[in-house]
Copies of this chain bind each other. A is one copy, B any other.
Amino acid sequence: MPNNQATACAYSNIAFIKYWGNRDHALRLPANPSLSMNLGGLFTRTTVRFSADLTADRALVDDQAMQGNSLARISAHLDYARRLAGSALSAEVISHNNFPAGAGIASSASAFAALSLAAAAALDLKLTEAELSAYARRGSGSAARSVPNGFVVWHMGTDHASSYAESIAPAEHWQLTDLVAIISTEHKATGSTEGHQLADSSPLQAARVATAPARFEDCVQAVLARDFERLARVVEHDSDMMHAVMQTSTPPLLYWLPPTVAIMRRVRQLRAEGVGVCYTIDAGANVHCICLPNALERVRAELHAISGVLEVRAAQVGGAAWLEG
């Protein structure tokens, strides 16, 4: 336990098959399996230091001191590692995202993956990658997918230990790029944790969940075979299925803004013209445009030409979470 301190980094990820809704909210056991690619270059770097000098947990995220629910969520996450290690030490957490908040990149996935890896290392827990992934899941479901390398599947599982993510192909397997069209930097009105709890209020969620395993298998095969047309169809369809559920929940969650629809339409037109691009949209207005290498510059130019697009950010496929130092 060198200094009871460790620093870890983890990439954000974008889901090709979406996670929306839980079968167990407390454990964040998802309603369906999901699949994602890590977003290379867009990461959270987190240092955790356990010390007898501290009287309570404290956390700085992007130089801001966490309080209330935000701090409680981090403390609760550290508790799990402390229980495993038999430790009662308080911790200091210092975390930085190398991408701006509100830039359309989910930070909770990379944040809880990095926090889990750093906390486990600081307490000298010898966790397997699957155990780390399951641990990260407890903090934020999609964080489970930011632990392994490249293209990642999250097995829904039936309990804590069986609900973890693993790589189906490393980052080098397929040179895809996510061009994130940023059209809103507003904080979302409904956060993901709350959103997952609304999923079952939609009359359509059961049908989405029932058909998700088939989309998941289709997407696994598309990734393994590097079949972009197949990938594009299932990725867009699965995104549309999630937003169908969101938009029909009570209260309805309409995350799209006018430029969101403009981009969806443009991306479909481009693909019909033979350009290797498809869209996927998370719980927000920004659009992730997954591109083949030869489509990249064309798509970037097209996105910049759409009214309401503030910025376009590029990410290639990222690797696994890693320890520093």
Q: Which residue numbers of A lie inside 8 Å of B, CB to CB?
A: 203-204, 206-208, 210-211, 236-237, 240-241, 243-245, 247-248, 250, 252, 254, 256-262, 264-265, 268, 308
> How many angstroms between the C-alpha atoms of A245 and B259 in the bound complex?
22
> How many angstroms between the C-alpha atoms of A221 and B89 in the bound complex?
60
Q: Would you call A248 and B259 a contact (CB within 8 A)?
A: no
Q: Would you call A254 and B265 a contact (CB within 8 A)?
A: yes
Q: Out of B240, B254, B256, B265, which one reaches A248, CB within 8 Å?
A: B240
> How many angstroms between the C-alpha atoms of A236 and B248 in the bound complex?
9
Q: Out of B236, B250, B254, B308, which one reaches A264, CB within 8 Å?
A: B254
Q: A207-B204, A211-B203, A261-B261 are in contact. Are A237 and B244 (CB under 8 A)?
A: no
Per assembly, the copies of the chain total 2
Q: Out of B206, B207, B244, which one reaches A247, CB within 8 Å?
A: B244
Write 12 A-B pairs (CB below 8 A) sorted by A numbering.
A203-B211, A204-B204, A204-B207, A207-B207, A237-B248, A240-B247, A240-B248, A244-B244, A244-B247, A254-B265, A254-B268, A258-B258
Contacts of A252 in B (CB 8 A): 236-237, 240
Q: Out of B204, B262, B308, which one reaches A244, CB within 8 Å?
A: B204
Q: Out of B204, B211, B259, which one reaches A241, CB within 8 Å?
A: B204
Q: Would you call A206 and B203 a contact (CB within 8 A)?
A: no
> How many angstroms between the C-alpha atoms of A240 and B268 in the bound complex?
22
How far, in Å, is A263 (CB) from chain B's closest CB? 9
